[in-house]
Amino acid sequence: MTFPLLFMSLADVHEPRGQLQTGGCTLRRDPDPPQGLEQDLNRFAQALAFTTLQDADGTVHVWYSLRRSPEPFLVEHLRPAQASARSHSESAKTFSLTRPGWDPAKMKWQVCYARTRDGVHFERPDLGIVPDPQSPNVLIDYGGIFSVMRNDAAPPQRRYAMLHTGWGPAPAAAQPGFHPVHNAGAAFSADGLHWRESEHGPAFRDGNDAFSAIYDPRAGQYRCYQAVLRPYHFPYPDSIGADDPRGQRRVLAIRSSDDGLHWSRLENFIEPDAGDPPELELYMFTVFPYRDRFVGLMRNYARSPLMIGEHGPHLLYEWWVSHDGLRWQRPARNMHAGVFTTCTPFVVDGRLCFLEYNTMHRYSTPVDRITWVGAQSNAEFSSPLFTAPAHPLTVNLQSGTGTLLPDQAYIMVEARQPNGHPIEGYEREKCLFVDVDGSALPLRWGENDTTALTGRQICLRFYLRDARIFAVNAS
């Protein structure tokens, strides 16, 4: 068992008693707007952040799709009946409405690259790859939707892999923004900047453009999480594009690859369940490896009679958790994570940071505070067994989230032997937290910490009321 010990869903607890709850944390928008990308964030252009990857030295590489229009394509203060779609910042609910008659085929999509160390100040390097007087950092002149993956174990020329839609040049009969959404191409690069398209044609031809892809070094596989259509009847149509738009819905499917080029068929179909609204669709799933598991942000979607024939409103972005990337728990139902992103997070000053998809604003939460296990009334549970480390343990917890009377929200922690008996000197009443909130609170039982137990197999038993537990770490 490695540290931290995370408590992100009920799959992480043992021998529960009482009524345990789970939930998620809201990503907060950091106050500073993005700086250095002003030329790509205006009424004629929109930068869509698709992938971020962080180096060990803290450098964050950002690949984004730049959409350019020959005339302004975002117009404020239009009535919904005038608009063909809603765009801009969904998280801040400051919608811009695309002008009547807007034709997305007239827009030019380009793949661009930027660097940052904090997610606020960006550098657009002059790459000299695609001559462009407005943007010196263009990698690919005809872009679309894509995911970039890094595999350090791959041959050097394939260290970076990309799944994408819409690379050009566009067919002669098509407009500059041509990007067929049902064909996914594969491309590879040694440096993430100079790309070569696969000579074997599309990686796959089914599914649609709502996908994200990662490389999982533990399994030695690439994975693609993709929205696909399944039979279902709706009272309202939308822009799904089928002959009978009321007869299909978007659900999640997963495919895998050993080399980033040859992909399996769609498998592991995941559909809304009995706990969801009957009209819910699973539209877009952003997955990233996190500690010893995977975390995903699912974009929940529902059609609306106010947007007939177009995209309806997206409901919320829901945290999902998995130990293998295939089977998922949903510990934070009906809770909005706060932002839509397709980017892998990066860490800055102890915070887990994300770039908003269509504004490039930074959103964040403290590291190891994504989802939690807790209780409103008295409850208890145990951690898995682990070998006590040489360093003292700390706990990431929050107590006092809603109790009306003071000093009534508590967490007690007991260290136990494998047979479930308390270890003498480590009984629960000796380790008590009342109405506190901290990410690295020392676990102590009077004068004792767990260093005296180094090398022994133990578990921790938590007793709690009006409290949440996120993680246990070695200091």
Please, what are the averages of pLDDT over each run of 10 residues along the chain (475 residues)?
A: 91 97 96 92 82 97 88 55 44 46 66 96 96 91 89 96 73 45 83 92 80 94 93 82 71 95 92 93 94 96 76 85 96 93 94 92 96 96 97 95 76 97 97 95 96 97 97 95
What sign results for the dihedral spanned by CA atoms 252, 256, 262, 265? negative
Q: Of 393, 458, 391, which is closest to residue 424 (Cα–Cα)?
A: 458
28-367 under CATH 2.115.10, yes or no: yes
Looking at residue 178, what is its pLDDT? 41
Looking at residue 104, what is its pLDDT? 59
Instruction: Supply the Cα-derived Rg of the chain in whole angstroms.
Output: 24
Query: Hey, where are the domains in the chain?
Result: 5-21+373-474, 28-367
| Site of tokens 């937290």 | 433
Q: What is the pTM of this model?
A: 0.91
Q: Of 329, 435, 296, 440, which is closest to residue 13 (Cα–Cα)?
A: 329
5-21+373-474 under CATH 2.60.40, yes or no: no
Looking at residue 93, what is its pLDDT? 44
Looking at residue 103, what is its pLDDT? 58
Looking at residue 134, what is its pLDDT? 87
CB neighbourhood size of 95 (10 A): 17
The whole-angstrom separation of Cα 86 and Cα 49 is: 18
Q: State in Å, rounded, how far the first CA of the chain is from the last one.
A: 16
Looking at residue 404, what is its pLDDT? 66
Give the C-alpha distances (Å, rounded to integers) separating 229 from 182, 358, 449, 455. 12, 25, 54, 52
Looking at residue 78, what is its pLDDT? 47
